[in-house]
Amino acid sequence: MEQTSRESTITNRTQFSGQAGEEAEVYAVIEGINDAFRAKDLEKIMSFYAEDMVAFDIMPPLEFNGKQAYREAWKMGLDGMREIGPFEDTHRRVFVSGDLAVLHCLCHMTGTLKKDEKKIDMWSRYTGVMRRIEGKWLISHEQISVPIEMESEKPLWNLKPEAGLVH
**Least confident stretch, 2-16, 48-62, 107-121, 130-144:** 2-16
Residue 164 lies in a domain: no
d(CA 130, CA 101): 5
- Categorize the per-residue pLDDT at 158 as very low, low, confident or very high, splitting at 50, 70 and 90: confident
Alpha helices, DSSP H, located in the chain? 21-38, 42-46, 67-79
Residue 26 lies in a domain: yes
What CATH number did the domain enclosing 21 receive?
Answer: 3.10.450.50
Residue 1 lies in a domain: no
Give pLDDT, residue 8: 33
pLDDT in tens, 86-109: 888 888 899 999 999 999 999 999
Q: How many domains does the chain have?
A: 1
Alpha helices, DSSP H, located in 16-166? 21-38, 42-46, 67-79
Residue 137 lies in a domain: yes
- Asked whether 84 and 35 are in contact (CB, 8 A), the reply is no
d(CA 119, CA 113): 7
pLDDT in tens, 6-57: 333 333 333 444 456 888 999 999 999 999 999 999 999 999 999 999 999 9
pTM: 0.82
Domain of residue 52 covers: 6-155
